[in-house]
Amino acid sequence: MPSHAFPPRIPLRAHPRSQWSPGRTGLPLWCCLLVGCASLPPVWTPFPDQKKVAREQAAYGATADQRMKTLAAEAKAAKAGSPQQQTEFTRGLAGRVLEEHDPRVRARIVETAAEFDTPAAAAVCRGCLEDPEPRVRMTACAAWGERGGPEAVKMLSARYHADRDLDVRLRALRELGNLGDGAAIPVLARALEDPDPAVQYRAVAALKKVSGRDLGDDVNKWRAWAADPGSADEPWSIAEAFRTLF
């Protein structure tokens, strides 16, 4: 092949200040670092732009997380305050829950109201059983389980019968069992006849807590017991107990 077919080779020379020469293998370390950094995405900083946050809050209001944080601080202060301060605080909760559009915050308001023994707090727990969001209604069921008392049996029993969401109904039955109140037995006994097996077994679990008995997980055994408790010291009947509840 003639020598003029290819251009003459130009010998490579290392720059006098460079640490790399044609005889070495690979690129210098600093070149690798530059290439690697160039291919990486920009570094995320965990510190938000405080000015931007302030502008957004002024334009759109506090975020849901900020509202819940403020609520927790105010609740803590109210608990340490006088009965009058607690009354005023829970009255404010009643207004907040009506204006709040985020179901997470409404659920947190219900949880907060459950910690106060005031008429306004009870009204919040009562009203949120009718909330359009199932998660809020479930939280309200838990609030009544925490509050306890005869009204709790009535509220939870009514929610079990009226609600169309299975999770809410199951939560109502669970809280009825947690109350440990014998007044809930007729409602739980009626739940044994529900066509949904999940409801039946939740009713069995609740009856174990309320009755103090353990007949196993056989629904038919609990149905037989509910039809005839079989002892003179339990002269209740389902029909009579329902008349006292509703």
Average pLDDT over residues 62-68: 92
Tens of pLDDT, residue by residue over 174-226, are 999 999 998 999 999 999 999 999 999 999 999 999 988 888 888 999 999 88
CATH architecture of the domain formed by 149-246: Alpha Horseshoe (1.25)
Q: How far is CA 157 from the centre of its chain?
A: 22
Where are the domains positioned within the chain? 64-147, 149-246
DSSP code string of 130-149 = G-SSHHHHHHHHHHHHHH-S
Structure token pair of residue 171 = 């939560």
Alpha-helix residue ranges (DSSP H) falling in 22-118: 29-39, 50-60, 64-79, 83-99, 103-113
Q: What is the pLDDT of residues 10-55, one digit of tens each?
A: 454 544 444 444 444 444 443 343 344 444 454 444 555 656 545 5
CA distance 112 to 71: 8
**Side chain identity at residue 184, one-letter code:** A
Q: Mapping DSSP to helix (H, G, I), strand (E, B) and coil, where does residue 62 land?
A: coil
Structure-model confidence comparison of residues 180 and 9, the more confident one = 180
| CA 94 and chain centroid, separation | 20
pTM of structure: 0.69
